[in-house]
Chains A and B, each alone.
Chain A
Amino acid sequence: MSDLITGLVFWVLGVLAVVSGALVFRFDSMARATYALAVSFIAVGAALLLLQLDYVGLVTVLMMVMEMAVMAIYMIMFMGMNPALMPMSMVHSRRTALGISAGVFLVLAAGIVTVPWPQRRAAPAADLTASLGETIMGSKMLVMMGISPVLFATVVAAVVLAAPRTRYDRFGDDLRSAPSDPHHGGVGR
């Protein structure tokens, strides 16, 4: 009985993920397309919960909802000549895009069917989240510690490059003086 329910939930989530993913390209509004993608990701995250990958599933939902909420703003803000407040098509290079996506789908689907998947040899760990954490942060800790400063430096560099006002605009020649900002921040500077 519980197998039946699990199977049913899986199919509902799978269909929801695919249909809302396809709707991204059918909608004529930036906001709807973005949130259709968010629904698709939520369905994928819920499907991961079915695989008992609780942490990965929830983090997928968390990150993707956050990302789509921010992305909707950026898409509407930067949509060039079209203010994105009008109905507009969500596709360009239609033929090429359709060809590529059909090809990728066929290759991946063929992979699912033809690859000789190995049989499970051991039982899964009792606490999958803890074992996932130990795998990532245990022997790979050095890699993680190396990646973190690189990622952080990238973020800082991108913000510095994108910021319209540099520190010389804010402080003048003497960087120790008080900044002249149009709005003061919340901590009294």
Chain B
Amino acid sequence: MDVVGVSWVWAPAAVLLLMGVAAAGAAFSGALSAGATGQRPVAGLLAPAYEAARLMRQRRRVLLGADRPLWRGGGGTLLVAAVLMVGVVPLGNWTLADLGVGVVWVNAVDVLVWAAAWLLGWGANSAHALVGAHRYLAQALSYELPLMFALVAPAVAAGSLRVGDIVAAQSQLWFVVWMPASFALFCACVLAFSLWGPFSTGSGPDLAGGVLAELSGVDRLLVLAGRWALLAAGSAVAVALFLGGGAGPLLPAWAWSLLKTLLVMAALVVLARRLPLLRPDRLAEVGWLVGLPVALAQLLVVSLVVLGRS
């Protein structure tokens, strides 16, 4: 099964699909929330849609001394980063841009979240938001290196940085089977660069919402949608790099890609709701003394297997 590039006129369709997956994740989370508070889960499915409609009607709060270009730029960057990320991820056999360095592209795009998170906090001219931004950057310093080495493992196994080649190299055996540590670390980092679950201290309730504290109206909608879109895009990357992309019986390849992405995202949503918040200062030690050595050890195993095969 070879991945082929399709014309760029499909790009709007890819964006719509990404937003669809992101909305599905938000609806699932809404249902879980409703279930947790004793309501019927079905009633929660539409909660994100109602919230989006409310935010679209809400008037923007005007803040004294806010740096509006930086603030809004940071808010929009999250969604842009998610869209750029899925540009190199194949849906079944089709991909928008089969870049020769697709894995590096994913990495470069996830770093944009560093800038976006800090700009969101700085732009508001609010102490809570700025503290939240610094929390995000401090935790980014802890998760970025494990993330990089987790991304390197499938590239080494496939002998290519092209996402299409990595998918093709899994035709016999999915990479998740023999590099589970890289997969687990990558999934954790997807939560981290989507600013979700245990990695959402920067927008936590102890900071009155942190970087989200001052956001209102359509700005807030853009940031919340950007976080869901990043979670969806990260799940899609995990499927392509570790779960065999569109490989699977009966259904067409594109359906398998989509189904696996939805399953990974659902698992991440459930996980994010169950895990406690990780304080950034504690995460530093976890990331550097546990995450990084585990990622390097996994990479060593993968490299030895590749050497042994050749």
A residues at B contact (CB < 8 Å): 29, 31-32, 35, 38, 54-55, 58-59, 61-62, 65-66, 68-70, 72-73, 127-129, 183-187, 189
Complex contact B115–A58 (CB within 8 A):
no
Complex contact A54–B101 (CB within 8 A):
yes
Q: How far is the CA of A1 from the CA of B107 in the complex (A)?
A: 32
Complex contact A55–B104 (CB within 8 A):
yes
Complex contact A73–B115 (CB within 8 A):
no
Contact partner of A65 (CB less than 8 A), chosen from B100, B111, B278, B286, is B111
Complex contact B115–A65 (CB within 8 A):
yes
Q: How far is the CA of A129 from the CA of B285 in the complex (A)?
A: 34
Complex contact A187–B286 (CB within 8 A):
yes
5 contacts between A and B (CB under 8 A): A31-B119, A32-B67, A65-B108, A66-B144, A187-B289
Q: How far is the CA of A58 from the CA of B99 in the complex (A)?
A: 11
Assuming the contacts A54-B99, A185-B284, asked whether A73 and B134 have C-beta atoms less than 8 A apart, the reply is: yes
Q: How far is the CB of B292 from chain A (nearest CB, A)?
A: 12
Q: How far is the CA of A184 from the CA of B284 in the complex (A)?
A: 11
B283 an interface residue at 8 Å Cβ cutoff?
A: yes
Contact partner of A29 (CB less than 8 A), chosen from B67, B73, B134, B137, is B67
Q: How far is the CA of A32 from the CA of B115 in the complex (A)?
A: 12
Complex contact B283–A186 (CB within 8 A):
yes
Complex contact B122–A31 (CB within 8 A):
yes
For the complex, would chain A's binding face be called helix, strand, loop or mixed by DSSP majority? helix
Assuming the contacts A32-B67, A72-B118, A129-B161, asked whether A186 and B284 have C-beta atoms less than 8 A apart, the reply is: yes
In the bound complex, residues from chain B placing their C-beta under 8 Å from that of A62 are 104, 107-108, 111
B254 an interface residue at 8 Å Cβ cutoff?
A: no
Q: How far is the CA of A68 from the CA of B140 in the complex (A)?
A: 13
Assuming the contacts A183-B281, A185-B282, asked whether A66 and B111 have C-beta atoms less than 8 A apart, the reply is: yes
Q: How many residues of B contact A (CB 8 A)?
A: 34
* Residues from 126 to 154 in B contacting A, C-beta threshold 8 Å: 134, 137, 140-141, 144
Q: How far is the CA of A69 from the CA of B121 in the complex (A)?
A: 12
Q: How far is the CA of A70 from the CA of B139 in the complex (A)?
A: 12
In the bound complex, residues from chain A placing their C-beta under 8 Å from that of B141 are 70
Assuming the contacts A62-B107, A183-B281, asked whether A54 and B100 have C-beta atoms less than 8 A apart, the reply is: yes
In the bound complex, residues from chain B placing their C-beta under 8 Å from that of A183 are 281-282
Complex contact B101–A69 (CB within 8 A):
no
Q: Give 1 or 0 for each of B62-103: 1 = CB within 8 Å of chain A CB.
A: 000001011001000000000000000000000000011100
B114 an interface residue at 8 Å Cβ cutoff?
A: yes
Q: Known pairs A58-B105, A185-B285. 19 more at Cβ < 8 A? A: A31-B122, A54-B99, A54-B101, A55-B104, A55-B161, A59-B104, A59-B108, A62-B111, A65-B112, A66-B111, A69-B114, A127-B100, A183-B282, A184-B282, A185-B281, A185-B284, A186-B279, A186-B282, A189-B285
Q: How far is the CB of B299 from chain A (nearest CB, A)?
A: 16
Complex contact A31–B115 (CB within 8 A):
no
Q: How far is the CB of B39 from chain A (nearest CB, A)?
A: 36
In the bound complex, residues from chain B placing their C-beta under 8 Å from that of A66 are 111, 114, 144
Q: How far is the CA of A184 from the CA of B282 in the complex (A)?
A: 7
Q: How far is the CB of A158 from chain B (nearest CB, A)?
A: 15
Contact partner of A35 (CB less than 8 A), chosen from B70, B140, B279, is B70
Complex contact B99–A186 (CB within 8 A):
no
Q: How far is the CA of A61 from the CA of B112 in the complex (A)?
A: 9
Q: How far is the CA of A65 from the CA of B193 in the complex (A)?
A: 15
Q: How far is the CA of A154 from the CA of B154 in the complex (A)?
A: 31
Complex contact A68–B70 (CB within 8 A):
no
B290 an interface residue at 8 Å Cβ cutoff?
A: yes
In the bound complex, residues from chain B placing their C-beta under 8 Å from that of A127 are 100
Q: How far is the CA of A186 from the CA of B119 in the complex (A)?
A: 27
Q: Which of B67, B101, B134, B140 has the most CB of A within 10 A?
A: B101
